[in-house]
Amino acid sequence: MRLTNQLGTIIKTFAPATIANLGPGFDILGLALEKPGDIVEAKIIPKKKVIISEITGDKGKLPRDSKKNTAGIAAREVLKLLKTKKGVEIKLHKGMPLESGLGSSAASAIASAWAVNLLFGKKLFKKELLPACLKAEKLAGGGEHADNVAASLLGGVVLIRSYEPLDIISLDYPKNLFCVVVTPELTLSTIKARKVLPKNVSLSQVVQNSGNVAALVTALERKDFDLLGRALNDEIIEPIRAPLIPGFYKVKQSALSSGALGCSISGGGPSIFALTQNLKEARKIGKEMRRTFLTEKIKSKTYISKINSVGAKEVK
């Protein structure tokens, strides 16, 4: 039996990338991917502070100052919840591109928070860690957006019914649903992607998106793929953000023409996701989406994944 809450004990955790919004569900829907994701190695130190001793996979872009890094902030907030006088040293290994629309900052925070919790004996349930991770996410996104955070932490598909008070619902979903994510070699910060959002939207747009969100949740619960495809339609955010992603509509059409149930922007972009029913179709869709980006002289990377039902976890 491994001892926790001991100096020198090392815990390694993984937190997955996520797809936020799922088309019409702006800030209220998200799902976890099996890959990619971030890994955190953490150990207890005697002094109550958070040290980030190493970051890999970020090309030197992320701050090592724990007060300016989502992994460091999440660790500090969890230490407060645990009411411990000890601290932690963290090594962060980035497994996904930064500013890609895959919840990169959230994954770092989640992996860190779960590692610290495990180090001190797993005293907190996952949902009890959400406030700590949301405070960290505020640094990257300018607000406490739970769609990425909750999906990465809890796994599966999540619905944010309310932010005040925070009310998160885990949804059922088809186990044979495949996600195709194509990430172009572009960067698009969450803050920039939010600056273009409209201050006001028409009532007809709200009605349409509300109907699509309700239908999407119903489709997931019923395993109704036809309805899922019809519901994966965003009348409000996608048209505003699409110009930030060169070739977006061409890539989307290539996915739909290749058999995708639906296709939209992942989070704030520039990653684009599509959903389908089997691995063979997923590979075909990913290939065509990547080929279409190349016609815009943009290289990209494809991730194919089922929905991750676990979320944050310990790894060896």
Contact 14, 113 (CB under 8 A): no
| 199-222: burial string, b at 16+ Cβ within 10 Å, e else | eeeeeebeebbeebbebbbebbee
Whether 190 is catalytic is yes
Number of H helices, E strands in the chain: 10, 11
Strand order in the sheet with 262-265: 262-265, 272-276, 178-184, 300-306
Side-chain-facing half-sphere of 18: CA atoms under 13 Å = 38
Nearest in space to 30 (alpha carbons), one of 308, 314, 260, 253? 308
Of 41, 99, 137, 235, which one is the catalytic site residue?
137
What are the distances in angstroms from CA 230 to CA 28, 172, 261? Answer: 19, 18, 8
**What whole-number distance in Å separates Cα of residue 218 and Cα of residue 279?**
23
Task: Tally Cβ neighbours within 10 Å of residue 189.
Answer: 15
**What whole-number distance in Å separates Cα of residue 15 and Cα of residue 99?**
16
**What whole-number distance in Å separates Cα of residue 200 and Cα of residue 103?**
26
Whether 18 is catalytic is no
Contact 225, 175 (CB under 8 A): no
Task: Tally Cβ neighbours within 10 Å of residue 276.
Answer: 27
Share of the chain residues as helix, strand and coil, in percent rounded to the nearest 5: 40, 25, 35
Of 18, 70, 183, 190, which one is the catalytic site residue?
190
Which amino acid, residue 297? Answer: K
Contact 27, 145 (CB under 8 A): yes
- List, by residue number, the catalytic residues: 137, 190
